[in-house]
Chains A and B, each alone.
Chain A
Amino acid sequence: MAEIKTKSKKNFTSYLDSEALNGSEQAILNPKLLSGELEVARARNVLLFSPTSKIKDDNGIAGVLVVTNFKLSFLSFDGSHTSSIYQENIFLGKNDVTLSNIDYIYQMNDRKKRLVAPNIKILSKLDVLHIICKNFRVLKFGFKRSEVGKGKHIAEALAKFAFPNRHNLLFSYNYKENYYNTLRNISMFNKKMDWSHELLRCGATGWRVLSREREDNIPERTLPMHYVIPKTVTEIEYVKLAESFNRSRAAIWVYSLENASLVRMAELIPTITDTKQENKMLELVRKCDPMMRQPCIMELNKCLPSIQEVQASFLKLRELCTPDCTRQFMVQDVRFYTLLDKSCWLFYVSLCLKYSNDAAMKMRGRETVVLQENEGRDMCCVISSLTQILLDPYYRTLNGLQSLIQKDWVSLGHPFSDRLGHVINSDTTEQSPLFLLFLDCVWQLIQQFPEEFEYSETFLTTIWDSTFLPLFDTFQFNSEHDRQYAHKNEHLILRPVWDWGEQFSDKDIVLFTNPLYKKPAEQSRKSMAFLPPTAIPLPGLHQTGSRITMHVTQMATVTNQLPEDRFLEPKTTIRDLELWTQCYFRWQPLLEIKNGGYPQIDLYNRIILSNISKLQQALQSHDFDDLPTPTNESENVINGVGPMPSISSFFPFSGNDTNSNELADILTLSYDLLTDGSIIDGLSLSQIPD
């Protein structure tokens, strides 16, 4: 085996040295350009190194490096015909990253290592570019074999294009591909109807939708056109009162459980010293509850980290997950847990879960909870959405989570552009990955309650990756106002990220579902009322009305063994938490467990589900021809599951080694049911007819 390795290396080197490399072979390697995408720089004979490998090693992959106004693209010769299966984004190749994803670029030569940024001089002799992405990806390119000056050329292009200082320099504005939105089962919360539906679904009676007439009222820019305010006050009075709050963000309703409501509110503007206006506002909130109970106020600034602290924590965590050489990897490894502790990341996750749990418990005790924060659009989003996931099983479904993010994050104005650092200038230095903190908390919940979630960790990780994809507007703006402005005045095409079919093929979308999910036997009143009757299912995510589903629903009505209230009570101490390894470790080949890790559990359960679905279909149709005959019950088949294809712990974010056809088959075959993955779940074992 070792011999083969060295052999291939030799071949590879000799191949590199040959003239062919510099000539036509590389000339024909072109990235697929989108409409509006332009190539701005190119270098040939660039070596891509694995994140921790030594730069001097000749173990890089050779290829062409191209910078466009959308992405940094690396095209290798051998990359195109690999047969392994991994998550394939339609817009990005395996070795591509969007410019939005790039956080730090280091330029290096034998003596120096310094940042690449708009105002920093690029080294004339530049050997290596070391790129650290916001999603923890690390890319290392060597230029020793490419033409003189090419490294500098690439670095200059990146310095110019990767750090736009105005929002309308983002690629979103150039991308003019038409889009027809057919999403029906996700509520965008940008229409009055959406909020009215939500009020109805929650049975909230003390509240009503406020629809603003004027769009450009400056202090209200962070608010959507429609949001929900107490019924007990006139619009004029409310707007007047709201002026006393930061960004005019007074009490805004987001959710109700029985008569307890979840309300978000900014703090009073700093120049106001007495709390008269705030008291008035809270009194209005109190009156929304028919029982007139005093609402509980959670001052998030006092109990949770600031956005700066979260950002500092994120950087420490990322440093721990992006070592730049084997030595640093080992040094960090020795003190890994101490360093992880010092990053405070899990501590902040623990705090978010704790306060969300507190809020959920209060609401279950029929208390209205008011989340108060400076502007009410950062930690408020985290705590509010987590609280709702704890209380409402609907938000543990795929459609539910997406609608929740639309409601609490997108519509109510989480400043995604600032927090994700889409635009770099002196006004917008408030980068902080609160959204990742939220996704991490959700991931912790999935770990603790794997049967309660329809979506998988892969879905969460994919959402995080998608925040850096400017083709989709969802995570590109600071507010609905900014989005509509760009849409109307700059003709930016709105394209929600939730239309996953735009980015991925079915085999990838399939992995967004969690095969362990136990779908409630009877959909609760809440989520039933939510889908309009005309709903067109998102491709691959739901197959209502299919034969299997019908069959199951019929059976499911027999008994319902699930508890009526599916409230989650998570453990929130650090010792009960884990590190989200899929999201944070996946770019580090040193940490990849071959044939191991959670994907094994995931795949195994998918296979069982697929078997169950086939058996159910056969029993229904009395057609057993397609089923494997019981005679092949050999030692090879244990639990009715044959050999599994080999996948690694980073699947689907790195490929599998072998049997990719087989794996593809399993994924496509189980596709029917995956979508409804959870079909059986309404069933209890006792329900199966004898």
Chain B
Amino acid sequence: MDKRLSSERVNMDYNSLKQHASSNSVDSDSKSNSINSKLGVETMVPNDTSVTFTYLAGEKCQDVKNECTYICPYSGPSRGILTITNYRLHFRSQPATEKDPIVVVDVPLGVVSRVEKVGGASSRGENSYGIDIFCKDMRNLRFAHKQENHSRRTVFEKLHMYAFPLAYNEKLFAFSYTETFAEDGWCVYEPVAELRRMGVNNDTWRITRINESYGICDSYPAVWAVPKSTSDDLLKQACLFRSRNRLPVLSWIHPKSLATITRCSQPLVGVGGKRSPEDEHYINSIMEANAQSHKLSIMDARPSANAVANKAKGGGYESELTYQNVEIIFLDIHNIHVMRESLRKLKEICFPANDDQKWLSAVESTLWLKHIKCVLAGAVRIVDKIEIMSTSVVVHCSDGWDRTAQLTALAMLLLDPYYRTMKGFEVLIEKEWLSFGHKFQQRIGHGDNHHSDADRSPVFLQFLDCVWQVSKQFPHALEFNEHFLITILDHLYSCRFGTFLCNTERERVQEDLKHKTVSLWSFTNASPEQYRNPLYGGRNQCIETVLKPVASMRHIRLWKGLFCRWNPSMRAQDPVYQRTRELLALQEQLQKQVDEFRYENQSSTRQSARLSSPMH
């Protein structure tokens, strides 16, 4: 024990940020910081050298306070220096003795959900007067201030100002961040190229730019693929029968059977059971675009009761009577409010800790895993329809931007090995989540202080959790590792990159994010090695293989590497990967030697062959 601690400390002295990356800071930052300083980007470092973190390009110090106390829920209070910049909150303890470990807290302010003062003028006792910070990434932080220092007020104000810039009509940090990367992540996804990859245009599907200026549907992308047999006029009519004009367009097409996944929002059936001949015709064309099947499955992500209840609000679902040869299946996934509540409960038991003996029951009672199971099970049903029955599937929920995105993206990951590569996964997120208008701004609440906003919900987090579950069941199937998923999540909140800002493609174009901010993929693609899964066997071994995870609770596990990562006593879940990495490196070195020998041998035999040829 002692040994471990002291070695940790030594390491920390060399590079405190890196050492703590796993426990207290957003992992990936340390890496880019070092890149940063290498590139000679100007950074503002305060005079006090004990504050050891490297500023990002565009990051500026706003406040430094000595004698702050961070109250760690695991290891207790430690005193040190608190720094607030326009990007982050940074705390570094100044240990009283050599033996005490150095505690570092490094949080991008985008992660902050709520800031509150605790204790007032009458507070007695040590550490009872300070600030509580509630984070979107499962942490709560408490900093105690000395009343007599009057340090709390400015800290509180600065925190507010930079965590919630929208409340002050200021811009998010992403607009100040100026780091440049070799590759421009904004170019990762090119809609037409992606459709071409899937073979569109083809005999039955065509690309349309009818929504080029977002005039038909303002929450949809500019480029769609639709059945070739449908005219643009029909699209204009048909979309009127779908909530927010989100009519069915192509997400994915099977390379052989041409069975498709299309996505949309609910039909505007209402209590009276309204019909739209255009919509019925359009749905029929989707079915007919697939010659392999004379049926079409509509997967309504909602519980059937919710779908029925939506009729009262003018929505609803397709009737099997009015839509010919259509079967409708409800996938029983609950709405954003249920998911938010579930995550809140999960946070309660994961942070800081819970009664160990009832741990499993406590996890189950949050229903988080049950929701994950439902999403996975839904995706597997879609996969079965496509793969086994060669039947096309239309997926929708109410608006078709939350549960629908979860299902289509997950089903595509299971069906198509391309989305299991790092680049492919980035494309998948760009396409199914960003371009189809998952409302990231609302769901995450970037930079606004309405922490109890009912529009916030961990829908995207849930999707990444499902991907993690897939990676656990198929350890060799994904090119990227858990760290990649966590990095995406960290920057979902951090507001350092433009990727997850705004609600729709239209807004992103208006804001000109491509030019004014940096893409998260520029950052991740600059150092792909750290995100690689060493067990990934390449596309060859799963090119035909559709992944079929078992959606049983017996296989669904809590993602401890994410939800419990702030607990220093949690063990790392995957020590096997390190070993595999070592073996691969060894293999590579040996191969190199063999190749060298071979090369030498070849050249020498060629020589000797020429010399001795008459003898043969």
Contact = CB atoms under 8 A, between A and B. Distances in A.
Contacts of A597: 473, 475
Contacts of B601: 624
Interface stretch (B12-20, B144-152, B549-557): B549-557
Interface residues of B, number: 63
A350 B356 CA distance: 10
A203 interface: no
Given A597-B473, A604-B476, 12 more contacts: A338-B361, A338-B364, A594-B548, A600-B474, A604-B537, A611-B587, A615-B594, A624-B598, A636-B540, A638-B536, A680-B583, A688-B586
Closest 9 CB pairs of A and B: A638-B538, A337-B364, A615-B590, A336-B553, A337-B360, A341-B360, A636-B540, A341-B361, A596-B474
A673 to B, nearest CB: 12
A246 to B, nearest CB: 31
A590 B549 CA distance: 11
A1 B541 CA distance: 22
Nearest to A585: B554
B593 interface: yes
B586 A680 contact: yes
Nearest to A447: B575
Nearest to B593: A619
Contacts of A642: 540
A244 B563 CA distance: 54
Given A337-B360, A338-B360, A595-B545, A639 B537 contact: yes
A28 interface: no
A347 interface: yes
Contacts of B552: 329, 333, 336, 590-591
A574 B357 contact: yes
Contacts of A688: 586, 589-590, 593
Contacts of B582: 685
B167 interface: no
A622 B605 CA distance: 14
A237 to B, nearest CB: 41
B564 interface: yes
A533 interface: no
A505 B585 CA distance: 32
B570 interface: yes
A4 to B, nearest CB: 11
A579 B555 CA distance: 10
Interface string A58-98: 00000000000000000000000000000000000000000
B356 A573 contact: yes
A576 interface: yes
Contact of A618 (B560, B570, B584, B594): B594
A619 B360 CA distance: 52
B452 interface: no
Interface string B228-272: 000000000000000000000000000000000000000000000
B274 interface: no
B594 A334 contact: no
A639 B584 contact: yes
Contacts, number: 187
B363 interface: yes
B121 interface: no
Interface of A: 1-2, 329, 333-338, 340-342, 346-347, 350, 448-451, 516, 518, 569, 571, 573-576, 578-579, 581, 585, 590-598, 600-601, 604-605, 608-609, 611-612, 615-616, 618-619, 622, 624, 627, 630, 635-644, 646, 649, 680, 683, 685, 688-689
B37 interface: no
20 contacts: A1-B388, A334-B370, A336-B364, A341-B359, A448-B571, A448-B575, A574-B356, A575-B564, A576-B571, A590-B550, A592-B550, A596-B473, A600-B475, A604-B535, A608-B584, A612-B590, A619-B594, A630-B591, A635-B539, A644-B541
Nearest to B595: A630
B453 interface: no
B197 interface: no
Interface string B23-52: 000000000000000000000000000000
B213 interface: no
Contact of B583 (A333, A591, A612, A646): A612
A641 B541 CA distance: 10
Given A333-B554, A593-B474, A608-B584, A638 B540 contact: yes
A598 B474 CA distance: 8
A635 B538 contact: yes
In this complex, the member of A1, A329, A595 whose beta carbon has the largest number of chain B beta carbons within 10 angstroms is A595
B116 interface: no
In this complex, the member of A585, A612, A630 whose beta carbon has the largest number of chain B beta carbons within 10 angstroms is A612
A451 B535 CA distance: 16
